[in-house]
Amino acid sequence: MILVTGATGTVGRLTLERLPADCAVRVLARDPSRVAVPRKGVEVVRADYRDPASLGKALRGVHRALLVTSRVGGDDDVVFLRAARRAGVRRVTKLSAAAVVDVRAQDLITRWQRDCEAALTSSGLEWTLLRPRAFMSNVLSWASSVRTKSLVRGLYGHAPNACVHPRDIAEGGGGAPPPPRPPPGRQHP
């Protein structure tokens, strides 16, 4: 069984829509009435990261999970991973952010995501990290300034940025963990 968290958000919802029809799927939601269930057979359960007992029930029988958290600075990932380990989950795919690999990025969200990634990679579970940067679906917010000033404003105006469609993120989750990095000074074969 696959557990999807964040199903009321962009990536979680799109992931849920793309899971095969023959796949057993459960959705964890604080408010199940907000989940758009794409097909029959998808089970929606009420649970909350702040309630470990509800997580334990939601994770029962789950082998893979998509982890999406948004309470910046909170310990939702740690609580979820602890419950997942106890429940026998094998693999967790986490929605993170591309900035975590930029050592110069020290904003609150990036530091929080680094901590969340560290909790996952040291959890003993198999893992996959999804690290998108900017969502292509958000570029419409640039329309007015492009139309009136031929300008796109960004916090770091000279930083390269590759936008990705959330659908591509949803289709990319659940793969194998990344290969180990080669020792310093050695090239990839």
Return the pLDDT at 189: 40
- pLDDT, tens digit, for every residue of 1-26? 999 999 999 999 999 999 998 999 99
Mean pLDDT of the chain: 87
Per the confidence metrics, is the pTM higher than 0.85? Answer: no
**Among 79, 78, 86, 40, CA closest to 62:** 86
Return the pLDDT at 166: 87
CATH code for the part of the protein at 2-132+166-172: 3.40.50.720
The proportion of the chain whose per-residue pLDDT surpasses 90, expressed as a percent, equals: 61
**Among 122, 2, 129, CA closest to 59:** 2
The H-or-E segment that residue 95 falls in is strand 91-95
Band of residue 38 on the pLDDT scale cut at 50, 70, 90: confident
Return the pLDDT at 77: 96
Q: Is 29 exposed, middle or buried (0-12, 13-18, 19+ CB in 10 A)?
A: buried
Question: Which sequence spans correspond to the domains of the chain?
Answer: 2-132+166-172
Return the pLDDT at 17: 92
Token output for 168 = 């591509």
- pLDDT, tens digit, for every residue of 57-87? 999 999 999 999 999 988 999 999 999 999 9
What is the DSSP secondary structure assignment for residue 33, as one 8-state letter? G
Token output for 23 = 């796949």
Q: Which amino acid is at 56?
A: G
Beta-ladder partners of 27 = 4, 44
- pLDDT, tens digit, for every residue of 138-172? 888 889 999 999 988 776 667 677 788 888 888 87
Contact between 7 and 37 (Cβ < 8 Å): no
Angle (deg, nearest 10), helices 108-121 and 76-87 = 20
Contact between 67 and 27 (Cβ < 8 Å): no
